[in-house]
Amino acid sequence: MKVYFGFTVAGDRSTLDAARRVVTLLEELGHEVLTRHLVDDDAWERDRLISPQDVYRRDIAWLQQCEVLIAEVSGSSFGLGFETGYLLGATAKKVILFYRRDLEKKISLLITGNTHPNCTLAPYSNVTDVESFITSNLSGEPGAAELQSSSNSGMSANAPPAKVVHGGSE
């Protein structure tokens, strides 16, 4: 499966180790991570080697190609919000948003309060929680992974809430 992995480039990168583990695990499971460069130490510098317009065109192309957006949003940024909103508003693609439980009060309420039916919120306490979620939900045949929530091309006023996964230590 083609995965757009979202992780802040310019914001708080204190969860970089968890983000790296997500990317590594997805690749070990046979998925193609289109944005794996985001977990490199020089991601900020490398993105500045091309114009902002080229970054936009590249990332939109990847968002259109991907089958799912998986993002670590603990250090959320405008870019992550844009990517999430773009996919949830303009497509029927699934979105999985991981964030550290201990940082929840610092994360935008548009993330933690997301009720879109194609969005799964996955708060975690440690990297093991993230690994367990990915292994349980995305370890099938690449391209065949389906999350439990139903596909819906748009959000209605009475849409069911986003799934919130409360696994691991609480």
Domains of the chain: 2-164 (3.40.50.450)
φ, ψ dihedrals at 7, nearest 5°: -155, 140
Q: Is the pTM of this model over 0.85?
A: no
Give me the pLDDT at residue 143, please.
47
User: Scanning the structure block, which residue is given the tokens 């499966």?
Assistant: 1
* Higher-pLDDT residue of 154, 86: 86
Q: How far is CA 160 from the centre of its chain?
A: 20
